[in-house]
Structure 1
Amino acid sequence: MKVPDDVPLASVCLLGCAVGTGWGAAVNSAQVRPGHTVIVMGIGGIGINAVQGAAHAGASNVIAVDPVAFKREKAKELGATHAVESMAEATELARQFTNGQGADSAIVTVGITTGEHVAQAVSAIRKAGTAVVTGLGDFTAVGVPISLGELTLFQKRLQGSLYGQSNANTDILGQIELYRSGALKLDELITRTYSLDEVAQGYQDMHDGLNLRGVVRFDR
């Protein structure tokens, strides 16, 4: 697929992974609907686009969770209605909005995902709600400390999500149109650009929580 000539490569390069994964995690995997309450755990390159996707799908409440203040601020600029530091706060907010029931969905996009993160998401959702896991951690790790009784009797759904269940051949073209119309923000995701010899600084900024997305420009 060739990118149209009228869109900047420095922005649409984000469609190769982060945008499609996060957007699709909300729209496809969590199946967010108008009026829903959604929790997004982890506001990095994927999580911020899960926020955008949930907002675009019509969620009434989009609760972003991240310990980094900068990322919470950006989440509110890009579609989150609320932004908090912890899942405990997010879970309580979701219950306040839903008469004690819990979020319709919780999307886990933490950079190094553990079983505890997944368990927190499952606990935060209502009966028949959906916990979506698109973050990765130790590939050999096993075990998620969730209640089997809660899983069965509350009919909760635990859904893995690879690339947001997106089809790159069709969805990227659709996302380009959303970008053209202003419904999908890409330029605003790029906190800083780097030249090739600044790549190490880019990684450091990522680890320090200074970027939503850093983009390497080969023409600099």
Structure 2
Amino acid sequence: MVRIEPDIPLEVAALVGCGVTTGWGSASKVAAVRPGETVVVMGAGGVGMNAVQGAAAAGARHVVVVEPVAHKRDWARTYGATHSFATAEEATAAVNELTWGRMADKTIITVGDIQGEDIHAALGLTGKGGRAVVTGMGNYANVDVKLNLFELTLLQKDLQGAIFGGLSPRAAIPELLALYQHGQLKLDELVTNRYSLEEINKGYQDMRDGENIRG
């Protein structure tokens, strides 16, 4: 149980129960984004969009989104993304150019069903001494991950797991809601569709089809 201010709508407060806090904390706490850094967010759904918000709020110079759904790439711009691409391959060349070859300081993986190749792609986007944060969930039985061990050692890259953005619910939820009350965190805008209980199956299908950020 986490106490909140009584004037905050419950449908807004519900969003910080997981997705918002996880995304925000993945950028601000686990990735520890600092002003001026280049950050890549892979996956712009309910968690990834808030990793974008968190990275932008932390002062990232470039926030690059990798997302296959076109309108999610467009939405990401309104949450602080500076660049967006459909694939990691497209993003790699752009990040290389943006950073004069240094690549991203931080890469955050927030895809819905993470695969081993996503780790490989994230580390490829991450520069020397950078950190790749694994926030997305995969199948518990999936143990295959692709890594370039030569590169991992010589470029001193950091691969870090994250749960709930590394934050404490009792502290983070009131803090994030305070940011919302002061206009520093977008929550209302995350709700892109509303459904009646009878429409719950459509809501789930829209989520799978990428039709909403939060339904």
Query: Scaled by the length of structure 1, what TM-score is found?
Result: 0.95
Question: Displacement of 1:85 after TM fit?
Answer: 0.4
1:64 aligns to what?
A: 65
Question: Displacement of 1:2 after TM fit?
Answer: 2.1
Matched residue pairs, number?
214
Distance in 2 between the 1:192 and 1:206 partners?
Answer: 10
Distance in 2 between the 1:89 and 1:59 partners?
Answer: 20
1:1-220 aligned at under 5 Å gives the runs 1-214=2-215
Preserved CA contact (<8 Å) 1:91 1:103: no
State the one-letter code of the partner of 1:169.
R
1:217 aligns to what?
A: none
SS at match of 1:194: coil
Output one character per residue of 1:27-69: Cα deviation in whole Å (capped at 9) or x when no partner: 0111100000000000100000000000000001000111101
Question: Displacement of 1:173 after TM fit?
Answer: 0.7
State the one-letter code of the partner of 2:10.
L
Q: More displaced, 103-112 or 91-100? A: 91-100
Distance in 2 between the 1:170 and 1:145 partners?
Answer: 36
Preserved CA contact (<8 Å) 1:37 1:105: yes
Moved over 2 A (4+): none
Question: Displacement of 1:149 after TM fit?
Answer: 1.0
Q: More displaced, 107-116 or 92-101? A: 92-101
State the one-letter code of the partner of 1:122.
L
Q: More displaced, 189-198 or 49-58? A: 189-198
Distance in 2 between the 1:64 and 1:124 partners?
Answer: 12
Distance in 2 between the 1:208 and 1:125 partners?
Answer: 29
Question: Displacement of 1:143 after TM fit?
Answer: 2.3
Question: Displacement of 1:205 after TM fit?
Answer: 0.6
Distance in 2 between the 1:170 and 1:3 partners?
Answer: 11
Distance in 2 between the 1:83 and 1:12 partners?
Answer: 28
Question: Displacement of 1:3 after TM fit?
Answer: 2.2
Preserved CA contact (<8 Å) 1:113 1:135: yes
Q: CA RMSD in A?
A: 0.8
Query: Scaled by the length of structure 2, what TM-score is found?
Result: 0.98
Output one character per residue of 1:87-131: Cα deviation in whole Å (capped at 9) or x when no partner: 112222221121101100110001010010011001111100000
SS at match of 2:198: helix
Q: More displaced, 29-38 or 93-102? A: 93-102
Distance in 2 between the 1:92 and 1:188 partners?
Answer: 31
SS at match of 1:192: coil
> Which structure 1 residue ranges, 5 or more long, are not aligned?
215-220
